[in-house]
Amino acid sequence: MARKQIDEHSLGVLEFNAVRVTLGSFAASDLGRDAAASLYPSVDLRWARMRMAETTELRAVLDRGERVPMAGLRDIRAVLKQFGKKETVFEPEQLLEIADTLAASGRLRVFLMNLEPSESRHLCAMGERLGEFTALVDEIGRCVGGDKRVRDSASEKLKEIRRTIGLLSEKIHQRFAEIVASAQLRRALENDKFLMRHGRPVVAVKANYRHALRGTVLDRSNTGATLYVEPDELVEMSNELEDALFEEKKEVGRILWHLTKLVLDQQEAILDSVRMLALVDLTYAKARFSVAYAMTAPEIRSDGALHLRQARHPLLLQWAARQKGCDVRELTDEVVPIDVRLGDDFDLLLVTGPNTGGKTVVLKTIGLLALMAQSGMHIPARAGSSLSVFRQVYADIGDEQSIQQSLSTFSAHMRQVVKILTGTNEGTLVLLDELGAGTDPIEGAVLATSVLDGLMKKGGKVVATSHLGQLKTYAYTTPRAENASVQFDSETLRPTYHLLIGTPGSSNALVIAKRLGMPKAVLEQAETQLDQESDGTSELINQVQATREDAERKRAEAQGVLDETHEARKRVRERLNRVREQERRLRQQADHEIERSMRAVRDLVDRFTAEMQNAPQVWGAKASELAARVAERAAETPLAVRQAQFIETLRRGDSVFVLPFRREGVVDRIHRNRKTLVVFVGNKQIEVPFEDVGRPEPQAGKY
């Protein structure tokens, strides 16, 4: 799991935990849910790319309609780790849980390793790391039944003991029935039911008839009116039954210890597999999350830049789906997407405009999607989006007022900003909401520009929002800084949430006041005063914004055409790849068919040659000549040629794939005269013919 480095405060304000909870709901077991709950954004580029690749590969499996065998997974870590603290053996129920989980592990191993390696390299590697426990699962299944009892067939001794117990129980019940059926006891009996007290059979006798039945009183009713008497006639048989039950308990204990020892002998391997099962289930949850929210895999960059295309906030999607009572994938216009970039042509994006909520959504979307990508999750954005692995993410968003510390909103924000300034360096993403607010506008703007200067000098990538007009000029005049605004609809008095990069936002205060019914005289006076004090900047901004919106609309149309072209090219490439793959498989199939046919011919000729050994010499010679010619032809088949070339290059220490064992081995010796190899497979040394080895599978990378 990734080392915890991202600022905890930022994880909180960006609501990353809510995403973890949603992710966990898509897991198949508690293993996956626990892994989701402890998932943490990584600052390791390789780790993030590997986890992203796993999610992408499993998403492709789901898109193909394949069913991933996730049933049967249990979290058995506590059972294994706590052994010895209370129990001396695993109980049958625990053994069944262990067996179910290991059986599920085996099914997943087969499924993952049988995926096409060229399409699922990382999933195949995950499958290889799941252990093989078939023998253990079979032994537990042989000894423990679905009723959570040790089976009679677990051992011959147990079978015989239970047969004896059955016979003794039957004899005791028969004799008991004879006793209570006796005419002499009829008046003395409270009832004729077969009862047990302290593990012994007893007869319910009325207290005033105590001497009617010879035996030992083992219990009495609360009132004392009924005595529970063990008849003397049953004592010997009961003793024998008690001895047999004791022997049964001993034998069951021995069998459970046998099974327990088998588990403990492989405890570390089992725990390793369970940890991998948790990762597989977490990846499965990520893939299902991706499908449900129509997500895509972003490119993971290393240059500190990001480019989000039609990105949406996943929690807003979730909220909108609940409001509409539909699936997230059915939503179209309820959550407006944003297009945003940072780090390529500018390092500071300053989003200005009125306080209408749209700017904060932009910040939270950028921050949360960055954290998701660094956790190996897909993001709700269009294909072609990219995000860097940031070494730190800082966010100062929302009302940070602390009543307990008697801090104003401004003071609380400044405390967080000081922390951010101290910790920012190259590779840091900084998200600041309403920078400079909560104090005098002029002082706030001056302080804000100084903070932004400091963050940029330290190499941070910054997205900041503000409603202070003075900051618009700062973004225009500062290198590597850019203005942006969230579109505002003056008719509805609401933000459209479309982000416009390159255009600062205007306050729209007079427009809003007019729409809300401000008296005409007041508005006219305000407009007159504004004209006197204004240098025309606001009007220019509005004109620029209108021009920018028109250009943005045309750019979006052009981008749509370009995307359609890219999609068409992608479909053509995929179709071409499928045709090539089909051609490769057909060629491979044909090669194998030729090889099988040649082997059949060789076997037939070899049998014929052996039978001709006792024939006249001339016929034996002709048969040997025929066998030699067939062997020459067999050596010229495409597979035989490639196999011969491979064998020729082999040296001691090389890896080979041993076909009968379906595992990799390491070459120890090569007997070219015998056409065999001595190979280490695990801890075993075996000798196999040349035709039983092949090239090792491509390595999918280590975890």
**Model confidence band, residue 292 (pLDDT cutoffs 50, 70, 90):** very high
Which pair of tokens denotes residue 550? 């028109």
Cα(57)–Cα(698) distance, rounded to whole angstroms?
16
Residue 23 has which token pair? 């992710």
pLDDT of residue 402: 41
How large is the greatest C-alpha to C-alpha distance in the chain, in angstroms?
Answer: 129
pLDDT at 701: 37
CA dist 204 and 189 (Å) reads 6
**What's residue 1's pLDDT?**
47
- The C-alpha atoms of residue 322 and residue 327 are separated, in whole angstroms, by 8
On the 0-12 / 13-18 / 19+ scale of CB atoms within 10 A, 546 is: exposed
pLDDT in tens, 200-254: 898 898 888 888 888 888 888 888 888 898 888 889 998 998 999 999 999 999 9
CA distances from 657 to 48, 127, 593, 673 (A): 30, 16, 21, 21
Dist CA 89 CA 369 (whole Å): 48
- By DSSP bridging, strand 226-231 and strand 215-220 are antiparallel
Model confidence pLDDT, tens digit, residues 316-333: 888 888 888 888 877 756
- Residue 638, pLDDT > 60, answer yes
Q: Are 30 and 437 in contact (CB under 8 A)?
A: no
**pTM for the structure as a whole:** 0.72
CB atoms under 10 Å from CB of 315, counted, come to 17
Measure CA of the first residue to CA of the last residue in the chain; give whole Å.
Answer: 10
Q: What is the average pLDDT value for the chain, to the nearest integer?
A: 83
Measure Cα distances from 459 to 43, 93, 347, 362, 449 in Å. Answer: 17, 58, 8, 22, 16
Backbone angles phi and psi of 455, in degrees to 5? -65, -40
Q: How confident is the model at residue 19 (pLDDT cuts 50, 70, 90)?
A: very high
Beta carbons within 8 Å of 656's beta carbon, 6+ residues apart: 650, 664, 665, 666, 667, 677, 679, 693, 694, 695, 696
Higher-scoring residue by pLDDT: 542, 229: 229
Residues 284 and 69: their CA atoms lie apart, in Å, by 11
Alpha-carbon distance of 637 to 594, in angstroms, equals 7
- Integer CA distances (angstroms), 260 to 81, 146, 429, 437, 560, in order: 13, 18, 52, 66, 63
Instruction: Write out pLDDT tens, residues 144-159.
Output: 998 889 999 999 999 9
Q: Hey, what are 639's tokens? A: 């597979």
What is the number of H-type helices and E-type strands within the chain? Answer: 21, 19
Tally the residues of the chain: 703
Parallel/antiparallel/unpaired status of strands 494-501 and 481-489 = antiparallel
Of 271, 279, 283, 282, the closest CA to residue 101 belongs to 271
462-518 pLDDT, tens digit per residue, is 999 887 777 877 888 889 998 888 776 655 555 566 788 877 766 556 666 666 667
The structure tokens listed for 415 are 């405390």
- Count of CB atoms situated within 10 Å of the CB of 663: 14
Q: What is the DSSP letter of 362?
A: H
Q: How many CA atoms lie within 13 A of 315 on its CB side?
A: 17
Domains by residue range for the chain, with CATH: 8-133+266-292 (1.10.1420), 153-247 (1.10.1420.10), 299-533 (3.40.50.300), 567-634 (no CATH), 650-694 (2.30.30.140)
- Strand 655-658, strand 195-197: pairing: unpaired
Question: Which among 343, 335, 391, 390 is positioned nearest to 365, based on CA atoms?
Answer: 335
Q: Which of 466, 392, 404 is nearest to 436 (CA)?
A: 466
